[in-house]
Amino acid sequence: MEYFLEQLINGITLGSIYGLIAIGYTMVYGIIGMINFAHGDIFMVGAFISLIAILAIGLTASASFALLILALILVLAIAMILASAYNWTVERVAYRPLRGSFRLAPLISAIGMSIVLQEFVRIAQGGRPKPMQPLISGGIELMHRKTELGEFVVRLSSIQIIIILTTLALMVLFTALITRTSLGRAQRSCEQDMKMASLVGIDVNKTISITFIMGAALAAVAGLMFFLRYGVIDFYIGFLAGVKAFTAAVLGGIGSIPGAMLGGLVIGLIEVFWSAYFSVEYKDVAAFAMLAVVLIFLPQGLLGKPEVEKV
């Protein structure tokens, strides 16, 4: 029971990170109907910007709690701003000029931007992993049991609490933003019909750019959380996390923000539990197999709505 609880916490933590990235995928797809395959690399860029900002500030684990929180808020703000600038550039360079072209053109362009971002970070920061000592320590002891091999302690660490609460807060905030604000109405109008939205006075280009910026901000949050949780990053994490987050978005129902979060949690839990109870080499196979099974019976995903074409 203790081991199961520990893996459940680890799975929810990892799934929360996947979910934050998946929301960016599902928001962009919901409006322009295309997948931004450079989004995973925006997550990677956000993680590297966070590392550079932490080193520039000189932040260490010995700092007081108040100073640590203020410094991390500053780091997060810097990462969100710069990652948003990168994603805004991707939209202007890779998507907007090709919006009226055949559907494969923006996809190919986005894959090219993904490679550009990967190689830019690899050349600028080097190909070796960048480790760092944990900045946030402490936590809550949930269970404590003595075994023949020693003591087994189940802990909910402080960084895990921060990741889970931050993810829940952002999901609620962005869901409210989409459903209850003028920006959300503009985004939903563009999703239904861009031409009609422009005819009623909505600035379609501005709405799409803001959507890319919002997705990048979430990816930057996920990048900082990933770095604080696992303590090591490299230029390739964007590809792996991006593929899994895209899988989570499809699994949950692409176009649905709660679905993206649910898909992220499912992928994270499958990975962690498969690694814990079966062979770790096949954890990705298990995740993608689950995607295939769900799409066979629910083609629209877990929380997605079937598309109805009006005639």
Write down the pLDDT at residue 148.
66
Give the closest residue to 26 by CA, choosing from 274, 211, 235, 173.
211
Question: For residue 273, is it within any domain?
Answer: no
| Residue 273 pLDDT exceeds 50 | yes
Question: For residue 304, is it within any domain?
Answer: no
Tokens 């797809």 correspond to 29
Tell me what percent of the residues of the chain surpass a pLDDT of 70: 96
Q: Categorize the per-residue pLDDT at 310 as very low, low, confident or very high, splitting at 50, 70 and 90.
A: very low
Q: Categorize the per-residue pLDDT at 306 as very low, low, confident or very high, splitting at 50, 70 and 90.
A: low
**Domain count of the chain?**
1
Question: For residue 289, is it within any domain?
Answer: no
Reduced 3-state DSSP string for the chain: CHHHHHHHHHHHHHHHHHHHHHHHHHHHHHHHCCCCCCHHHHHHHHHHHHHHHHHHHCCCCCCCHHHHHHHHHHHHHHHHHHHHHHHHHHHHHHHHHHCCCCCHHHHHHHHHHHHHHHHHHHHHHCCCCEECCCCCCCEEEEEEEEECCEEEEEEEEHHHHHHHHHHHHHHHHHHHHHHHCHHHHHHHHHHHCHHHHHHCCCCHHHHHHHHHHHHHHHHHHHHHHHHHHHCEECCCHHHHHHHHHHHHHHHHCCCCHHHHHHHHHHHHHHHHHHHHHCCHHHHHHHHHHHHHHHHHHCCCCCCCCCCCCCC
Q: Categorize the per-residue pLDDT at 288 as very low, low, confident or very high, splitting at 50, 70 and 90.
A: confident
Question: For residue 299, is it within any domain?
Answer: no
| Residue 293 pLDDT exceeds 70 | yes
Question: For residue 6, is it within any domain?
Answer: no
Question: For residue 286, is it within any domain?
Answer: no
Write down the pLDDT at residue 149.
63
Tens digit of each residue's pLDDT (9 = 90 or more) over 216-245 = 999 999 999 999 999 999 999 998 888 899
Write down the pLDDT at residue 50.
94
| Residue 191 pLDDT exceeds 60 | yes
Question: For residue 297, is it within any domain?
Answer: no
- Is 241 in contact with 226 (CB distance < 8 Å)? yes
Tens digit of each residue's pLDDT (9 = 90 or more) over 25-41 = 888 887 777 778 889 99
**The domain containing residue 122 runs over which residues?**
19-236
Rounded mean pLDDT, 299-311: 68
Question: For residue 258, is it within any domain?
Answer: no
Give the closest residue to 260 by CA, choosing from 270, 248, 247, 269.
248
